[in-house]
A and B are shown apart, each in its own frame.
Chain A
Amino acid sequence: MIVIIDYGLGNILAFANTYKRLNVGVKVARKADDLTDATKLILPGVGAFDRAMDLFQQSGMRERTEELVLGQKVPVLGICVGMQILASASEEGVSPGLGWVQGTVRKFDVASLPHSTHLPHMGWNDVMPLRQTALFDQLQNDARFYFLHSYYFQCANQHDALAQAKYGDNFTCAVNHENVYGVQFHPEKSHHYGAQLLKNFADL
């Protein structure tokens, strides 16, 4: 069963509705016991890095989630700030991240942008996978997703960068280390492209 971790941030309903349309069963977890039978985990999130870390900590689900992800190697997909907290640290805050994927979350350098609109990076952008991966099955050639953020994930190990997009410079917009996946964009709000990616995650 795919379990969506509801620690108080992110669009839980949108994920549940997408999977309902795909005929994939999901469950929403609000406490540690709800995580028990998870075979896949989704870690959503919007807003600020420190707030996401605080809320995840306070939810009482962090420890059980770490057992599943790091111990039992259950696949997990972090979304937006849920992806950023996979990193070790962020320029946006002072809290340490989860550190499941080595890297630092950095603010975009607006000096590299050729246009007068700067931050947040808002709207639909092309996503280019950097290697063959089941997560981007049928999305290798034409993948566009909705972005809404001002910080991006800089991987410590380039091999963990799964896909990139261009905003001024190229930046990493999807990461993967072993069973841990993260995407900066919002698949739950990216029409058929997003539904395909969430289906791919379910099929991993």
Chain B
Amino acid sequence: MLRPRIIPCLLVRDKGLVKTVKFANEKYVGDPINAVRIFNEKEVDELIVLDIDATVKGVGPDMKMIERLAAECRMPLCYGGGIKTVEQARSIIGLGVEKVALSSAVLANPGLVADIAREIGRQSVVVVLDVKKKLFGGKYEVWTHNAKVNTHKNPIEFARQLEDLGAGEIVLNSIDNDGVMKGYDLGLVEKVRKATTIPMSVVGGAGSLQDLAGLIGKFGIIGAVAGSLFVFKGAYKAVLINYPSTAEKDKLIQEAYPC
């Protein structure tokens, strides 16, 4: 059977790994290549690496760093950060990355999804939606530039549009829950899941393996993504890269999603 995916998400800034809380208060957590080596040993399902500097600083993807990451990864790699053109996406796939993650460039020009899908195949086109709940009224909006720019787009409608344009996967990122480690926003996930049929991964809020199990139990085939959970240990958030063993993962999935 096809298994739900359990995916660490790493954030890169100034060539180092960081972890944020609500997209701020970042903490340095180590070297990206070293983290990839540890995740290789732990046989993680996939890895997402997002360069959170590239778009904000207006620079393109760091191809040298991506090449080193891709060469090191023994698991499928999804890279995001600063991708604005078809040519950049094709180059990144050529370096041995399985999937490219787009965000601000697609919010500005949704047609880019179709252009890139035509070039590299829709299976490799991921769109990350950074979503925040409005203070009043409970509506959700998509933000970009590390939660500094509000696009005022509705993530549910936009996700449906992305599927029609040729996106292969949506990564739904909750800004409000980032780094808080109190669980995913399941209500938001449900709305986007009902609007689309392409694979979806969810990030923002996972604080325990139980949170992953809750998401998998509710949605079955889904990507359960976590940052803090897989880089911190204990109440004082000591940096310790961790991930469930294959046996633990099988048990978690079997109990949450028996089939």
Q: Which residues of A contact B (CB under 8 A)?
A: 8, 11-14, 17-18, 46-48, 110, 115-126, 144, 146-150, 166-167, 186, 189, 191-192, 194-195
Contacts and interface: CB of A to CB of B under 8 A. Distances in A.
A147 B2 CA distance: 9
A5 to B, nearest CB: 15
A116 B120 contact: no
Contacts of B93: 46-47
A144 B4 CA distance: 13
Interface of B: 1-5, 40, 43, 45-46, 67, 70-71, 73-76, 93-96, 98-99, 119-124, 168-169, 193-194, 197-200, 219-223
Given A121-B2, A124-B5, A148 B76 contact: yes
B71 A17 contact: yes
28 contacts: A11-B70, A11-B96, A12-B96, A13-B67, A14-B70, A46-B93, A46-B124, A47-B93, A47-B124, A48-B121, A116-B193, A118-B197, A119-B197, A120-B122, A120-B199, A123-B2, A123-B5, A123-B46, A123-B223, A124-B45, A148-B98, A148-B124, A149-B123, A150-B122, A186-B76, A186-B98, A189-B73, A191-B43
Contacts of B220: 115-117
Nearest to B95: A13
Contacts of A48: 121
A49 to B, nearest CB: 10
Nearest to B99: A148
Contacts of A123: 2-5, 45-46, 199, 221, 223
A14 B71 CA distance: 6
A167 to B, nearest CB: 6
A8 B94 CA distance: 8
Nearest to B94: A8
B121 A47 contact: yes
Which secondary structure dominates where chain A touches chain B? mixed
B74 A191 contact: yes
Contact of B1 (A14, A166, A189, A191): A166
B222 to A, nearest CB: 7
Contacts of A146: 45-46, 75-76
Contact of B198 (A47, A117, A147): A117
Contacts of A47: 93, 119-121, 124
Contacts of A194: 74
A28 B169 CA distance: 31
A120 B2 contact: no
A165 to B, nearest CB: 8
Given A13-B95, A46-B93, A117 B199 contact: yes
Contact of B168 (A8, A12, A120, A124): A120
B169 A122 contact: yes
A124 B199 CA distance: 13
A12 B92 CA distance: 13
Nearest to A195: B74
A46 B45 contact: no
A189 B222 contact: no
